[in-house]
A and B are shown apart, each in its own frame.
Chain A
Amino acid sequence: MKIWSTEHVFSYPWETVIKAAMRKYPNPMNTNVVGVDVLDRSLDTQGRLHSHRLLSTEWGLPGIVRAILGTTHTQTYVKEHSIVDPEEKKMELCSTNITLTNLISVDERLLYRPHPDNPEVNHILPPSLLSTVLTQEAIITVKGFYSDNCFPRYTSHTTGGFSESRILCSRKKHSVVLAESLPQQPVLSEAPQLGAHLAQAD
């Protein structure tokens, strides 16, 4: 199991970031997401908006990898639950994969809040001076046959804003090939994905 976390500050007000986050896909920085559907959406008694969504992802696994995995499917699916609290100005999003679960679990949590340095509400400032903090965390667990000798190793070099995650298995040659063919970016940094949408959100 490996925990990966990052924090990013957007130089936009919280409402602008949230509007962009809700419309994040399609996204040129994450073309693996090929479908998004809302499964359920409702307000709770505290006025918070809950959304349950299904994401379809296409990782383009090589044929030999699919054969080893014993699957003919090329698409994997992720379930996502988000809660938007407009009173507290907080958006929390949790997601987990619901396919390939015998092989890997990728559990991700995002939290968007106004920057603590923003002034209090009753001090009115132009939106250009307000910021939003995103905290992104992921817990990645490689399971089953590979779990004994697999260790998630994370290099956080940022190429164009991406953080790359590599899951390496040192047990057998074919294991190494398999593991490196798994999504090498199971968790993409949120920041570059929102960048394209922030300018259009308002």
Chain B
Amino acid sequence: MNSVGEACTDLKREYDQCFNRWFAEKFLKGDRSGDPCTETFRKYQGCVQKAIREKDIPIDGVDFMGPNKDKPET
């Protein structure tokens, strides 16, 4: 599956693989240990935000903060 930003697809796939593994093997089994995908998500998010701005997609009211709730770099 592609990203909305063509340049972000590889970063998206890397994040999805990490997330799907954590989701199935940890989260659904009640393991609340740390999220191993934070860094991957941060890189992916930076790319997606840029694509959303460039394509002028009307996202309102959605926080663009990653799992650690750190503000994105501008």
Please judge, given known A-B contacts A22-B20, A23-B20, A39-B48, whether A98 and B58 are in contact too, CB under 8 Å.
Answer: yes
Please judge, given known A-B contacts A41-B67, A79-B59, whether A35 and B4 are in contact too, CB under 8 Å.
Answer: yes
B67 touches A42 (CB 8 A): yes
B66 touches A26 (CB 8 A): no
* Chain A residues closer than 8 Å to B71, beta-carbon distance: none
Report B's interface with A, CB cutoff 8 A: 1-5, 8, 12, 15-16, 19-20, 23-24, 27-28, 30, 32, 41, 44-45, 48, 52, 57-60, 62-67, 69
Task: Decide yes or no whether A111 CB sits under 8 A from chain B.
Answer: no
Within 8 A of B (CB), among A98-113: 98-99
B62 touches A39 (CB 8 A): yes
Instruction: Pick out which of these stretches binds chain B: A1-9, A48-56, A155-163, A181-189.
Output: A48-56
Closest to B52 in A: A54
A22 touches B64 (CB 8 A): no
Task: Decide yes or no whether A62 CB sits under 8 A from chain B.
Answer: no
Task: Decide yes or no whether A88 CB sits under 8 A from chain B.
Answer: no
Closest to B5 in A: A37
A-B pairs, 5 with minimum CB distance: A35-B4, A26-B1, A25-B1, A35-B2, A56-B4
Selected from A18, A23, A54, A86, the residue in CB contact (under 8 A) with B4 is: A54
B8 touches A37 (CB 8 A): yes
A35 touches B1 (CB 8 A): yes
Closest to A101 in B: B58
Selected from A23, A25, A26, A54, the residue in CB contact (under 8 A) with B57 is: A54
Q: How many A-B residue pairs have CB under 8 A?
A: 79
Report A's interface with B, CB cutoff 8 A: 15, 18-19, 22-23, 25-26, 33-43, 47, 49, 52, 54, 56, 77, 79, 84, 86-87, 98-99
* Chain A residues closer than 8 Å to B1, beta-carbon distance: 25-26, 33, 35-36
A-B contact pairs, 5 of them (CB 8 A): A18-B28, A19-B20, A19-B23, A56-B4, A99-B57
Chain B min CB distance to A52 (Å): 5
A40 touches B57 (CB 8 A): no
* Chain A residues closer than 8 Å to B67, beta-carbon distance: 41-43
B2 touches A34 (CB 8 A): yes
* Chain A residues closer than 8 Å to B20, beta-carbon distance: 19, 22-23
B66 touches A40 (CB 8 A): yes
Closest to A34 in B: B2
Q: How far is the CA of A41 from the CA of B37 in the complex (A)?
A: 11
Chain B min CB distance to A178 (Å): 22
Q: How far is the CA of A75 from the CA of B16 in the complex (A)?
A: 23
Q: How far is the CA of A25 from the CA of B45 in the complex (A)?
A: 19
Please judge, given known A-B contacts A19-B24, A35-B1, A54-B52, whether A40 and B8 are in contact too, CB under 8 Å.
Answer: no
